[in-house]
């Protein structure tokens, strides 16, 4: 077929038309279309031209019949119909496509890293030379909140400081380690731990009283500047009220300088463009949870016992919620230092068989001989 019809060629992708660079399902029909379009003086054999030509052919020819037995009738209208319904697929993934193809980064393929955001969080101004650009990384798992301060190098991200919500039981918060209030405490712990590491915890206290309102750390004259970093929310949906911003607020109140606004905090009304700091304060101190606990206790006590069973087990009630978080904030500020776990001394166990001395080996041979002789004597007696 390819040698007789110069317009059609075949390759590893299938049959294609050299005239219009289209994929061909029916080579014979397509060649007839190419001939017709060439006679009409056009270089296009796409669907619109095909329909027009096929309709003209059908009208001119009309119904033509063969008198021979077994022959088909209405030849040209049927050819026209087949022309109209002929399929054409443009070759997109050809040889050039695969030669130039380059795979995405591994973490993009895995759906773990947003490189559009990372590029902007990592790139530092050239006039700042080798100054690191710090990021506050916030990540949530089902049972934990991870907050880190990191900066990027060619080898990878370098972690300067980290705090986790599973450390909060040490400060008096035994349950609810992934809610908004816990995110605030984790951010506060990270900020105080970092400033303590750099000796700035006495210089920058942050905001001690919880108001929920906007607060920004400013550098003090004659002292090292405030530690500046930028929020890295990862793949989280940065919607209004997201727990990521609870960790951000905790870090800012702890004394870190992080550019932000109140538009994503709980209590911001998108319609009126106003921010209610009292609503935000309730979320920071867990009062929204306390209100729901009271509501559920009145409406459905069984559901309350099921949903807040761990709160009941640890003696946390709706009335003690605010005091628990206030004490935790004070305890974090008092001692934010990470305590390393004592290194366990592992005693190595050996399962090799101990070597026998010469005397033990000779004794073993003697025992084997004696055993063999006893068995032989027993057989002779039988």
Is there a single domain that holds both residue 186 and residue 280?
A: yes
Q: CB within 8 A of 232, min separation 6: which ones?
A: 117, 118, 121, 135, 136, 137, 138
Is there a single domain that holds both residue 13 and residue 88?
A: yes
Range of the domain at 19: 8-96
Which two tokens mark 97?
A: 């496509």
Q: Is residue 239 part of a domain?
A: yes
Is there a single domain that holds both residue 187 and residue 245?
A: yes
β-partners of residue 230 are: 135
Rounded distance, CA 108 to CA 77, Å?
Answer: 54
Which two tokens mark 8?
A: 């059609």
Q: Does the global pTM surpass 0.85?
A: no
Is there a single domain that holds both residue 164 and residue 243?
A: yes
Question: Of 223, 228, 257, 262, nearest to 245 (Cα)?
Answer: 262
* Position 239 pLDDT exceeds 80: yes
**Residue-wise pLDDT tens digits, 2-13:** 444 444 455 444
262 DSSP 8-state letter:
S
**Residue-wise pLDDT tens digits, 296-334:** 999 999 999 999 999 999 999 999 999 999 999 999 999
**Residue-wise pLDDT tens digits, 242-283:** 999 999 999 999 999 999 999 999 999 999 999 999 999 999
Question: Of 186, 208, 317, nearest to 255 (Cα)?
Answer: 208
- What's the CATH number where 317 sits? 3.30.420.100
Rounded distance, CA 17 to CA 8, Å?
Answer: 5
Which two tokens mark 358?
A: 């010469």
**Residue-wise pLDDT tens digits, 35-93:** 556 655 655 555 555 555 554 544 554 544 444 444 444 444 444 445 555 567 888 89
Q: Is residue 182 part of a domain?
A: yes
Half-sphere exposure of 208 (CA within 13 A, CB side): 8
Specify whether the CB–CB gap between 37 and 56 falls below 8 A: no
Is there a single domain that holds both residue 166 and residue 255?
A: yes
Q: Is residue 113 part of a domain?
A: no
Which two tokens mark 304?
A: 């309350």
**Residue-wise pLDDT tens digits, 5-47:** 444 455 444 455 655 555 555 555 555 656 556 655 655 555 5
Q: Is residue 354 part of a domain?
A: no
3-class secondary-structure state, position 88: strand
Which two tokens mark 144?
A: 């934990």
Q: CB within 8 A of 263, min separation 6: which ones?
A: 240, 275
Q: Is residue 370 part of a domain?
A: no
Number of folded domains that form the chain: 2
* Greatest extent of the chain over all pairs of C-alpha atoms, in Å: 120
Is there a single domain that holds both residue 70 and residue 180?
A: no
Is there a single domain that holds both residue 21 and residue 161?
A: no
Q: Is residue 255 part of a domain?
A: yes
Give the pLDDT mean for 367-381: 94
Q: How far is CA 84 from CA 20, 21, 45, 77, in A?
A: 17, 18, 11, 11
């Amino acid at each position: 077929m390819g040698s007789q019809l110069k317009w059609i060629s075949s390759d590893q992708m299938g049959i294609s038309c050299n005239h219009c660079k289209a994929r061909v399902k029916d080579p014979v029909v397509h060649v007839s279309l190419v001939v017709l379009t060439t006679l009409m003086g056009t270089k296009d054999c796409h669907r619109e031209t095909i329909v027009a030509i096929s309709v003209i052919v059908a009208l001119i020819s009309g119904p033509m019949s063969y008198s021979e037995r077994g022959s088909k009738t209405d030849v040209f209208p049927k050819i026209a119909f087949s022309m109209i319904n002929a399929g054409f697929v443009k070759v997109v993934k050809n040889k050039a496509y695969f030669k130039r193809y380059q795979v995405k980064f591994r973490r993009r393929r895995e759906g773990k890293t947003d490189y559009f955001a990372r590029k902007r969080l990592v790139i530092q101004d050239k006039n700042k030379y080798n100054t690191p650009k710090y990021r506050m990384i916030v990540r949530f798992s089902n049972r934990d909140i991870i907050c880190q301060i990191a900066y990027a190098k060619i080898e990878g991200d370098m972690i300067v400081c980290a705090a986790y919500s599973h450390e909060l039981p040490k400060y008096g918060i035994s349950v609810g380690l992934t809610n908004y209030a816990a995110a605030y405490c984790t951010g506060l712990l990270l900020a105080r731990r970092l400033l303590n590491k750099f000796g700035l915890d006495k210089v920058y206290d942050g905001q001690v009283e919880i108001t929920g309102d906007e607060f920004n750390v400013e550098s003090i004259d004659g002292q090292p500047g405030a530690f500046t970093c930028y929020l890295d929310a990862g793949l989280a949906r940065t919607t209004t009220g997201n727990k990521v911003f609870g960790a951000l607020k905790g870090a800012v109140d702890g004394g870190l300088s992080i550019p932000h606004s109140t538009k994503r905090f709980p209590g911001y009304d998108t319609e009126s463009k106003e921010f209610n700091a009292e609503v935000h304060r309730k979320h920071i101190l867990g009062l929204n949870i306390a209100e729901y606990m009271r509501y559920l206790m009145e409406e459905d006590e069984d559901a309350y016992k099921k949903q807040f069973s761990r709160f009941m087990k640890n003696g946390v009630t709706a009335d003690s919620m605010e005091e628990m978080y206030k004490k935790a904030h004070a305890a974090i500020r008092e001692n934010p230092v990470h305590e390393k776990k004592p290194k366990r001394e592992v005693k190595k166990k050996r399962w090799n068989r101990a070597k026998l001395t010469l005397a033990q080996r000779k004794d073993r041979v003697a025992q084997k001989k004696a055993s063999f002789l006893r068995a032989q004597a027993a057989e002779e007696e039988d």
